[in-house]
């Protein structure tokens, strides 16, 4: 029943490189989100989008860029990866008030 | 600042013990409340949610939670845990009226010993 797919699931990249994490949902939910999960911090919202072409910053947006040209896609780009961006990234979508998560993308920046 | 606090970072229980995980939030006004579970290596799954009505909410797998507005709390309970309940549990809050700015607590890791 995974209506949200993320890719890649695992990625190792070097400091300074650009990385894009892809997210695709099949539910036609208006809202989509990117969270990062770090030990001791739980989940923190990076960016969210209320609809195509509408995006807003969350708690920790610095160093990230998002776009939403189509309702079903919400890619997250790290323009110049840093070690502090090593994390697990979860994409999610929402049917009004309940959020459903993808399976996560494990990113390591070396 | 808006926040969600989970009191316990790590809870260790034996099978059949009762569970209560605390969650407090600092938002005023109308809120929607959630508990999510994350099994090892997996994504977050919704356990239960509260929007309005009966403050005692029943979710999947025998879990329940009680919303106490005066205490800004939404504690998760299960009368008898199983080894398969070993996971991380996250409380989450967003403000009502369709606001999708969901904030999560730091999580509580539950280990159930067989």
The CATH number of the domain holding residue B43 is 2.60.40.10
A67 or B1, which is more confident = A67
For the segment B49-59, what is each residue's pLDDT rounded down to a tens digit? 999 999 999 99
Distance (Å, whole) CA A76 – CA A20:
6
Q: Which of A97, A101, A106 to mutate to test the interface with B (most CBs of B within 10 A)?
A: A97
Count of the separate structural domains present in chain B: 1
Map tokens 């949902």 to a residue: A25
For the segment A19-60, what is each residue's pLDDT rounded down to a tens digit? 999 999 999 899 999 999 988 778 899 999 989 999 999 889
Q: How many CB pairs under 8 A join A and B?
A: 54
Q: Please say whether the beta carbons of A66 and A75 come within 8 A.
A: yes
Give the model's pLDDT for residue B99: 55
Partner residue facing A102 (CB), from B32, B43, B92? B43
- Is the CATH number 2.60.40.10 carried by domain A4-109? yes
Host domain of residue B46: 4-113
What letter would DSSP give residue A26?
Answer: S
């Amino acid at each position: 029943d995974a209506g949200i797919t993320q890719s890649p699931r695992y990625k190792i990249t070097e400091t300074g490189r650009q990385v894009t994490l892809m997210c695709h949902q099949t539910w036609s939910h208006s809202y989509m989100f990117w969270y990062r999960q770090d030990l001791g911090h739980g989940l923190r919202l990076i960016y969210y989008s209320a609809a195509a072409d509408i995006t807003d910053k969350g708690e920790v947006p610095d160093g990230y860029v998002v776009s939403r040209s189509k309702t079903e896609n919400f890619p997250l780009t790290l323009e110049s990866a840093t070690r502090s961006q090593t994390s697990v990234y979860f994409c999610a979508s929402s049917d009004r008030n309940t959020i459903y998560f993808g399976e996560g993308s494990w990113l390591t920046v070396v | 600042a808006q926040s969600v606090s989970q009191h316990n970072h790590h809870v260790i229980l034996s099978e059949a013990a009762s569970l209560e995980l605390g969650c407090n939030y600092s938002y005023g006004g109308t809120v929607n409340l959630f508990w999510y579970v994350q099994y090892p290596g997996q994504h977050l799954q919704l356990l239960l949610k509260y929007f309005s009505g009966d403050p005692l909410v029943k979710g999947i797998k025998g879990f329940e939670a009680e919303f106490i507005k005066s205490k800004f709390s939404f504690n998760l309970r299960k009368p008898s845990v199983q080894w398969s309940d070993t996971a991380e549990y996250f409380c989450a809050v967003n403000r009502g009226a369709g606001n999708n700015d969901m904030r999560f607590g730091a999580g509580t890791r539950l280990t159930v010993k067989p």
